Amino acid sequence: MSANQLCKELVRFSRLCYQRRLVGATGGNLSVRLDKNSFLVTPSGVSLRDISYENLIITNQEGKKLKGDKTLKPSKETMMHISVYNNFADANAVIHLHPPYVTAFSVKGISLPMLTVSSELKLGEVPVVERAGPGSSQLVENIEKTLQESGRQTKCLMLVAHGLISFASSLSEAYDIAELTEETAKISFISQNISRR
């Protein structure tokens, strides 16, 4: 896929994440791999509903801005994204969101129950990452530790009090994983509150 096509995809899925209420306000961030050493990321402080071709940013492997609107900075979570790319060579897209049901489970530090056939088959397990401040080096370390301890089949992580991060070979697949994870959390919550008669 060309860089131009990747930009269009990033804009489309950023807005879709907002429209589907997987994130609110200026939370959340998305990225795609352009090549081995550069990444296209959403900017800091801009709502995913307002992502456009003009405000996307290109960074290098160290998270340094290479190209983009001079008034904008890359997402403060850029190094979190890059840590995923460094640990999963086949990952070409990373999505970080704060969906309400997943975040509620994460606040409690509870592992997400895989209650449905789809979640068992497509997610398997969603490892929990220890709490750390947004954009912090400690969060990056915690994510790297969790990724190294989890299996290669891992597609999504739950960040304590901080939502989820999903990753895959394409934005479409990473989005589907994020959406399925939130649906799984919602079903788990509802099922726990249904009493048998």
pLDDT in tens, 19-51: 999 999 999 999 999 998 999 999 999 999 999
Q: pLDDT tens digit string along 105-117?
A: 999 988 899 999 9
Tell me, what's the pLDDT at 197?
60
Give the C-alpha separation, 150 to 127, whole Å.
7
pLDDT at 36: 87
When comparing pLDDT for 162 and 1, which is higher? Answer: 162
130-187: pLDDT as tens digits: 999 999 999 999 999 999 998 778 999 999 999 999 999 999 999 999 999 999 999 9
Q: Edge-to-edge strands of the sheet including 38-41? A: 65-67, 57-60, 38-41, 29-35, 93-97, 163-168, 156-159, 128-129
> For residue 52, what are its two tokens?
């456009």
pLDDT of residue 22: 97
The domains of the chain are located at 3-192
Q: What is the pLDDT of residues 69-113, one digit of tens each?
A: 999 999 999 999 999 999 998 999 999 999 999 999 999 988 899
Pairing of strands 156-159, 163-168: antiparallel
Domain 3-192 belongs to what architecture? 3-Layer(aba) Sandwich (3.40)
pLDDT reported for residue 127? 94
Highest mean pLDDT (candidates 54-68, 142-156, 181-195): 54-68
